[in-house]
Amino acid sequence: MRFPKPETDLKNFRLRKIKEPQYRHLWWLLFWPAYLARYFLIETCNPAQSYHVMHCVLDDKIPFCEFFLIFYVCWYVFIVGMHLYCLLYDVDTFRRYSKFLCVSMTMSTAIFLLYPSCQDLRPDQFPRDNFLSRVMGFLYTVDTPTNVFPSEHVIGAIAALAAAAHTERLRKPGRLTILTALTVLICASTLFLKQHSALDVLGALPICIISYLLCYEKRGYHEHLSCRYRHWLHNSKTGYSQ
């Protein structure tokens, strides 16, 4: 895929220019330090005895499989890659993608505070001893099994897919099919690595739907109404009716 000419010229960017129209969208990048900082706040706000354990029958039927760590890690590449691509080549989608993340993560944060959650699905002993299982063991030590409902791993993957579907060069059938398959595998990886309950995955879906309608469909709906109004106005002036 040949990349087009960037919409954002970062070579000439200076911090003092951030208020200029061509760089104003970079303010959305402040989302990331705020996103990371709130984890410390949430952990301190919720006492351990207040957590609700997330579990369902489906969780017991899904085996642990460390090979899904490959797709779990792809989440970071997908999220950052879409951010960089949209920042450079599709500023409108960059704004919508950033807004999607802000809206969805704000909703998930509110749920974490109002309904603290945790899970106890992690295996006491890995079924296989290999490099991936050892990495998972390390990940378990640094990533607490708390504030899991809804799954922000799922939210982030769907947000990146929605951005790709809104980008002209990425929404072509072949590319979008590959990215959709990657999104499904990323979501499945949270279950096979015992990082989330199936309830956490399902809980992320309504948040993604609401965020999508607010960040993408709203403008399209208004444009559709505007187009219909102009069509009606033209017909009324010309006396044409169907």
Three-state helix/strand/coil letters over 65-87: CHHHHHHHHHHHHHHHHHHHHHH
User: pLDDT by residue for the chain (242 residues), tens digit each?
Assistant: 566 677 676 666 666 666 666 767 777 778 888 888 887 787 776 665 678 999 999 999 999 999 999 999 999 999 999 999 998 898 899 999 999 999 999 999 999 988 999 999 999 999 999 999 999 999 999 888 999 999 999 999 999 999 999 998 888 889 999 999 999 999 999 999 999 999 999 999 999 999 999 998 754 434 433 444 444 444 554 554 44
Residue 13, SS3 per DSSP: coil
User: How many Å from the N-terminal Cα to the C-terminal Cα in the chain?
Assistant: 45
Residue listed under structure tokens 């990215």 = 179
CA separation for the pair 104, 85 (Å, rounded) = 21
CA separation for the pair 184, 147 (Å, rounded) = 22
Q: 121, 112, 86, 117: which is closest to 207 by C-alpha?
A: 112
Judge contact between 201 and 190, C-beta under 8 A: yes
Tell me which amino acid residue 242 is.
Q
